[in-house]
């Protein structure tokens, strides 16, 4: 896997129906640095004021199995009160069909 640091950008959609967007890029891998980065992302999501609804965009995110498990663990452990809307991506497919992804408030958009 290409060694590219996981990065996240938080944005708002335009218009009257504002939604928070989390744009994930780089690599989601099983390293300790990646685990720390995912935890930092989750902490920022928890600390964000206002609505607890997030749109997850990960179109160009590279994922390995260990990285996917890190994402699943963090989301399920800390963001159960948040509504997550996954836009089509490899991450979406992985979490949607993972037996370990038990987040109760997730929806998955299709291609």
State residue 43's pLDDT score. 93
First to last CA, the chain: 24
Question: Among residues 56, 6, 58, 57, which one has the least CA distance to residue 27?
Answer: 6
Provide the whole-model pTM: 0.89
Domains within the chain, CATH numbers bracketed: 7-108 (3.30.750)
Map tokens 């993972």 to a residue.
98
- Distance, in Å, from the CA atom of 27 to the CA atom of 91, rounded to the nearest integer, reads 11
More confident residue, 13 or 31: 31
In the predicted structure, residue 51 carries a pLDDT above the cut 90: no
pLDDT digits (tens, 9 = 90+) for 21-46: 999 999 999 999 999 999 999 999 99
State residue 12's pLDDT score. 81
Residue 18 — pLDDT band, cuts 50, 70, 90? confident
In angstroms, the Cα distances linking 6 to 98, 102, 104 are 21, 23, 25
């Amino acid at each position: 896997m290409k060694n590219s640091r996981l990065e996240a950008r938080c944005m708002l959609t335009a218009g009257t129906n504002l939604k928070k967007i989390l744009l994930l890029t780089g690599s989601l891998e099983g390293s300790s640095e990646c685990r720390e980065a995912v935890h930092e992302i989750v902490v920022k999501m928890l600390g964000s004021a206002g609505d607890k609804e997030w749109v997850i965009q990960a179109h160009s995110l590279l994922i390995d199995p260990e990285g996917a498990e890190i994402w699943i663990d963090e989301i399920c452990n800390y963001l159960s009160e948040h509504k997550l809307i996954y836009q089509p991506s490899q991450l979406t497919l992985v979490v949607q069909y993972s037996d370990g992804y038990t987040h109760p408030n997730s929806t998955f958009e299709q291609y």
